[in-house]
């Protein structure tokens, strides 16, 4: 979980990495995962743009256009999620500092902590879902986009896969603090399924990129 009042998307890369390297708790793993996924989405958008309006790749125009739309949306959303993860940590940290001297205070503190922990689970879950969307876009583009940028597409897939696993770790570490076994169980199953999907797609993508050739256009 992370916490910072400043939008990370407005920072220079140097400033963000300096903050990430500091002893401060934020930005941390959640925000780093979101930023890494945003970079992956940016690469997908780049490959799509490098494929559009190229005669060789005209049969794949619809595929590139769809991937570009997904990538540009995901990139913007992931920058927002980096900040949301920060706010979620801030709320959880504030909840844990509430007084607990009386039974009423202790109960209030526990309720606030559980609500904040749930939010701190929901945000990285949203990051994970964005990573899946990026991976799906790459899966469709692989072998149907500019072959000169095939390695960039594989980098996008590997970044998104790593970011997805990072987000998944943040979800799972927060679930025990939510205090809702049904929610925790269902969310764990969801995370496990999404991570499995990511791993499967990454394997398929690397195989497609390794062929160095184009495949049939996507069915309309």
Q: Residues 125-145: pLDDT tens digits?
A: 999 999 999 999 999 999 999
- DSSP structure class, residue 6: S
How far apart, in whole angstroms, are the C-alpha atoms of residue 55 and residue 59?
8
Which has the higher per-residue pLDDT, 24 or 157?
Answer: 157
Tell me which residue range forms the domain holding 87.
Answer: 24-211
Distance CA 144, CA 56 (A): 10
* Residue 193 domain flag: yes
CATH of the domain at 33: 1.20.120.680
SS3 56: helix
| The predicted structure's pLDDT at residue 219 | 78
Within a domain: 188: yes
In the predicted structure, residue 28 carries a pLDDT above the cut 90: no
**Comparing 13-27, 109-123, 197-211, which segment has the lowest mean pLDDT?**
13-27
């Amino acid at each position: 979980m992370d916490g910072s009042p400043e939008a990370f998307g407005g920072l220079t890369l140097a400033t963000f990495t300096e903050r990430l390297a500091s002893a401060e708790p934020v930005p941390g793993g959640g925000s780093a995962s979101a930023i890494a996924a945003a970079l992956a989405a940016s690469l997908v958008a780049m490959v799509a743009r490098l494929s559009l309006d190229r005669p060789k790749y005209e049969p794949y125009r619809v595929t590139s256009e769809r991937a570009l739309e997904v990538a540009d949306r995901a990139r913007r959303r992931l920058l927002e999620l980096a900040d949301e993860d920060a706010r979620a940590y801030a709320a959880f940290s504030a909840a844990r500092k509430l007084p607990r001297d009386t039974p009423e205070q202790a109960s209030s503190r526990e309720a606030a902590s559980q609500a904040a922990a749930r939010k701190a689970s929901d945000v990285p879950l949203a990051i994970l879902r964005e990573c899946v969307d990026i991976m799906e876009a790459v899966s469709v583009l692989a072998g149907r986009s500019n072959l000169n940028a095939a390695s960039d597409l594989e980098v996008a897939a590997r970044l998104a896969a790593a970011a997805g696993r990072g987000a998944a770790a943040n979800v799972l570490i927060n679930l025990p603090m939510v205090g809702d076994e049904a929610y925790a169980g269902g969310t764990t199953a969801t995370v496990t399924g999404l991570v499995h999907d990511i791993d499967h797609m990454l394997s398929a993508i690397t195989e497609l990129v390794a062929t160095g050739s184009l495949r049939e256009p996507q069915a309309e």
